[in-house]
Amino acid sequence: MQPQTLQIATWLLYLNGFFALISFMDKRDWIGYARVDKGSIGSLVGILVLVSFIGGGFLMANDRKVGYKLALVAAFSPFALRIWVLWSASGFSTLDKITGSDTIGFIFEAALCALLLHPHSREHQRVWYS
């Protein structure tokens, strides 16, 4: 039994992992763009982001503390990835570099971060996760 915040976060991690896989293969979203633009380092980062979403969700669902930490990495990875990819690109404001000019996607990414950092989630993982 996990609190509702962690249950929703787990589902969002699985959902984001699915879309990260599609993005990695399709080359249209930030993970795919990093793979094309940054070469082999971008591919490695893309795979790590993909694994962190799916692995974080799976391990969190099985009450593992490492899963919670991996989920935090996954939740903040889209922001870091966009800043890394767009750092040297001209024509993008700082807000665009953080949000990726996708308001709905940004809302879901921010919601995942908020769910994982919620006091109920932090307390539950601190007490119950091994």
Q: Which of 19-23, 81-85, 118-122 is modeled with the greatest confidence?
A: 118-122
For the chain, give every domain's residue range: 4-125
Percent of the chain scored above 90 by pLDDT? 62
CA 12 to chain centre: 9
Amino acid identity, position 37: D
pLDDT tier at 127 (50, 70, 90 boundaries)?
A: very high
CA angle 121, 103, 87 (to 5 degrees): 90
Vertex 34 angle, CA 31 and 35, to 5°: 90
Contact 3, 126 (CB under 8 A): no
CB 96 within 8 A of CB 106: no
Q: Is the pLDDT of residue 89 over 80?
A: no
The pTM for the full model equals 0.90
